[in-house]
């Protein structure tokens, strides 16, 4: 009966599988030497490119956020200087010092404000407020007579604090704007406040200009409210609910005219904390966050003039787009290498393994008794020389086997031997000594001696009565 291993081996062979065959080892070696280096190099290049892409993209985001911050800071600084300059002009001071200016005086002042406003197309409105909060002169006629005493920028200016208001909803126009307020005083007496209102279109254009190629840009204030965003529907939404105390302050100043700030951005606690940390410390931050199932890399940087934070983010898929191409190229290279290995293995099998298989079959047939079988000698390569040497070996074995068979045949059968002298009768009928007969028909050589029985019979004096050989006498010393 066959053992379990032998049965498994036979079952493999019946299915055409040769365990640990040369074919399998050759194909395995081709796969290892051909496919493995390509795979290792591809994976290494993919991972290295991903890391390089992240570093490069973060550097770009940092540069872009710094440029955007510089632009907004410069824009704020230029308008703040304009308001401070106007607050120091004699025209503004003399007008606010008049208790009851006539209509002609008001018209002239309104015209002068319109001329100053025309110097910059991004400026939206200029108006002057008396100490009681009433607008007494304005480049926008709709502002005249409106009381702005409840506005935060008026209260800060009256308290001798220069103020830049977060983008607010205009009380008359209901448009989102930024307000620069500066007190007007002479001789230590506050005469009123001059206010510059600018629209957000110019900053919004800069925000959108940096949102190409899968990027998202935004400007966010210290309350976590988006003041500008590359997605306009997110403006004035918040990244986290506003605390009740701060919400009361906003409502009291009517900064947003009662508009709510729904949380439209789903961020984790760490991302929200990162934004407020940037507001508090002023240190630029680069981090990764997930929103809506998509990962993004972001660069956060605070403005120098205001506690506002600029953020520029990019989808991680855009960052890894080049590395994905490397992965695709690696996959294609592996597929091509695999095809080359298959075709190379097929060629090697056809050129080397198939002749070796035929030689193996020939050897098996020779070993099973077909001594006349020979391998076809084809080619002059190593396999051809191997076949030639096998054929020479087979010829020698066959010749020696036939010669040995002939010798054995001469000693086979019934040998007529003399019962007295033990001579053997040869083919010619002549009796010849047994030694001569066997020597001439085989390679055997004879030598003569005495067996123990014959020695005791012929030389009894050399043996004891029990038949053992006597010891030779010792010579005298």
pLDDT 10s digits, 227-277 = 889 888 888 888 888 888 888 877 777 777 777 777 877 778 888 899 999
183 or 326, higher pLDDT? 183
224 or 23, higher pLDDT? 224
**pLDDT tops 50 at residue 1:** no
Residue 453 tokens read as: 């029985």
Min mean pLDDT across 121-125, 200-204, 418-422, 439-443 is at 439-443
Q: What average pLDDT does the structure give for the chain?
A: 79
Which of 33-47, 124-138, 256-270 tops mean pLDDT? 124-138
**pLDDT tops 50 at residue 444:** yes
CA distance 16 to 24: 12
CA distance 230 to 207: 6
Alpha-carbon distances of 353 from 156, 340, 357, 363, 394, rounded to whole Å = 94, 18, 6, 15, 22
19 or 346, higher pLDDT? 346
CA distance 192 to 182: 9
pLDDT at 17: 45
pLDDT 10s digits, 88-127 = 999 999 999 988 889 999 999 999 999 988 887 778 899 9
Question: What are 198's strand-pairing partners?
Answer: 123, 178
Question: Which pTM value belongs to this model?
Answer: 0.60
Closest by Cα among 245, 259, 250 to 151 = 250
CA distance 194 to 130: 9
pLDDT at 411: 58
**pLDDT tops 70 at residue 7:** no
**pLDDT tops 60 at residue 6:** no
N- to C-terminal Cα separation, the chain: 73
Angular region, 214: left φ>0, alpha ψ -120 to 50, beta rest: left
**pLDDT tops 50 at residue 339:** yes
**pLDDT tops 60 at residue 140:** yes
| Torsion over CA: 377, 381, 383, 387 (sign) | positive
Alpha-carbon distances of 117 from 79, 82, 204, rounded to whole Å = 11, 10, 20
Quick one: average pLDDT of 224-228?
88
Quick one: average pLDDT of 51-70?
86
Closest by Cα among 44, 50, 34 to 335 = 34
pLDDT at 294: 78
Query: With contact defined as beta carbons under 8 Å apart, do 187 and 200 qualify?
Result: no
**In the block, residue with structure tokens 């190409």:** 212
Closest by Cα among 219, 223, 181 to 202 = 219
467 or 436, higher pLDDT? 436
């Amino acid at each position: 009966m066959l053992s379990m291993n032998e049965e498994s081996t036979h079952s493999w062979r019946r299915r055409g599988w040769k365990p640990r065959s040369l074919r399998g080892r050759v194909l395995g070696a081709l796969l290892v030497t051909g496919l493995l280096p390509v795979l290792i190099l591809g994976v290494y290049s993919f991972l290295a490119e991903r890391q390089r892409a992240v570093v490069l993209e973060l550097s770009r985001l940092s540069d872009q956020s710094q440029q955007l911050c510089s632009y907004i800071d410069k824009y704020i600084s230029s308008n703040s200087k304009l308001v401070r300059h106007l607050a120091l002009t004699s025209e503004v001071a003399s007008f606010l010092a008049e208790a009851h200016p006539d209509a002609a005086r008001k018209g002239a002042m309104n015209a002068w404000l319109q001329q100053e406003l025309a110097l910059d197309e991004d400026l939206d409105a200029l108006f002057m407020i008396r100490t009681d909060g009433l607008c007494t002169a304005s480049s926008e006629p709709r502002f005249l007579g409106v009381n702005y005493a409840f506005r935060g920028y008026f209260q800060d200016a009256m308290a001798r604090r220069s103020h830049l208001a977060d983008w607010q909803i205009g009380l008359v126009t209901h448009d989102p704007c930024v307000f620069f307020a500066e007190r007007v005083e002479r001789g230590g007496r506050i005469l009123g406040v001059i206010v510059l209102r600018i629209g957000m279109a110019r900053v919004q254009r800069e925000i959108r200009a940096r949102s190409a190629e899968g990027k998202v840009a935004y400007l966010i204030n210290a309350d976590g409210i988006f003041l500008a965003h590359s997605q306009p529907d997110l403006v004035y939404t918040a990244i986290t609910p506003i605390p009740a105390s701060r919400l009361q302050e906003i409502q009291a100043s009517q900064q947003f005219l009662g508009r709510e700030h729904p949380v439209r951005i789903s961020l984790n606690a760490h991302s929200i904390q990162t934004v407020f940390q940037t507001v508090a410390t002023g240190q630029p931050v680069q981090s990764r966050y997930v929103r809506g199932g998509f990962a993004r890399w972001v660069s956060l940087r605070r403005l120098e003039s205001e506690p506002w934070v600029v953020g520029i983010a990019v989808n991680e898929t855009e960052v890894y787009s080049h590395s994905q191409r490397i992965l695709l190229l690696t996959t294609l290279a592996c597929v091509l290498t695999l095809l080359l290995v298959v075709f190379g293995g097929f060629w090697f099998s056809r050129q080397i393994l198939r002749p070796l298989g035929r030689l193996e079959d020939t050897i098996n047939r020779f070993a099973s008794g077909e001594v006349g079988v020979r391998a076809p000698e084809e080619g002059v390569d190593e396999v051809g020389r191997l076949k030639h040497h096998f054929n020479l070996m087979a010829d020698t074995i066959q010749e020696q086997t036939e010669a040995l068979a002939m010798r054995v045949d001469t000693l086979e059968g019934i040998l007529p031997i003399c019962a007295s002298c033990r001579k053997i009768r040869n083919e010619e009928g002549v009796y010849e000594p047994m030694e001569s007969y066997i020597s001439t028909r085989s390679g055997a050589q004879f030598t003569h001696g005495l067996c123990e029985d014959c020695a005791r019979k012929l030389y009894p004096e050399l043996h004891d009565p029990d038949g053992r050989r006597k010891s030779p006498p010792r010579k005298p010393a």
